[in-house]
Amino acid sequence: MMNQSSKLFKLIVLAIFGTMSMVLMFLNFPLPFLPQYLKVDFSEVPALIAAILFTPAAGVIVEGLKNLLYLIYTGAGDPVGVVANFAAGVLFVVPVAMLYHKVKSTKGLVSGLVTGTVVMALGMSVLNYFIILPAYSWFMGWETMSAQVKWVTVVAAILPFNALKGIIVALLFVPLFAKLQPWMRQKRLNVT
């Protein structure tokens, strides 16, 4: 059973990571040859650290905090984009954490990052086709997108964007994880 100071430590870490994650959302950049509204950021990194340090649910909490803070800070200008960001983050972070917790090694982390990238890319493609693109059209007051327009958008933009985003975040996270591993191991021992 976790004692009170361990619970408090966990809450503080999750709050800090959620805030860091929200700030990292603002440091974004578009990828060449893809629509400018699709931007890569590194806001999944604190969620990944939380998910690996504690549980996959901790990563989901950080993703939720990040998007809630972003929504409050930006004034809810684009709630569909915020929901999409949350879904993408969860689809990426949860498989990484689950595989890492199953095989606590660099191999487990790398296989988790590959799986998380594939799950995010495919999951966001399906969600965009059926839910996000129609919701965005409705929210913006546009005409309903035809199946062909949605299909082209998903295949030419959404799928490659999420695959590249997963690869970019993974390439940044592996060396960062190697540096943080001793600290994470010590913190994990203190909270279990």
Backbone region of residue 39 per phi and psi (left: phi > 0; alpha: psi in -120 to 50; beta: other values): beta
Using an 8 Å Cβ cutoff, are 192 and 54 in contact?
no
CB count within 10 Å of CB 1 equals 4
C-alpha torsion sign, points 51, 56, 60, 65: negative
Among 132, 121, 122, 131, smallest CA distance to 162 is for 121
Length of the chain: 192
Fold of the domain built from segment(s) 4-27+41-191: Arp2/3 complex 21 kDa subunit ARPC3 (1.10.1760)
The percentage of the chain sitting over the pLDDT mark of 70, rounded to a whole number, equals: 95
Q: Report whether pLDDT(188) > 50.
A: yes
| pLDDT tens by residue, 127-158 | 999 999 999 888 877 888 889 999 999 999 99
Among 83, 58, 62, smallest CA distance to 139 is for 83
| pLDDT tens by residue, 110-122 | 999 999 999 999 9
pTM: 0.92
Residues facing 129 on adjacent strands: none
pLDDT category at 191 given cuts 50, 70, 90 is low
For the ranges 22-31, 60-69, 108-117, 139-148, which has the lowest average pLDDT?
A: 139-148
pLDDT (average), residues 93-114: 94
Give the model's pLDDT for residue 1.
46
Give the model's pLDDT for residue 144.
81
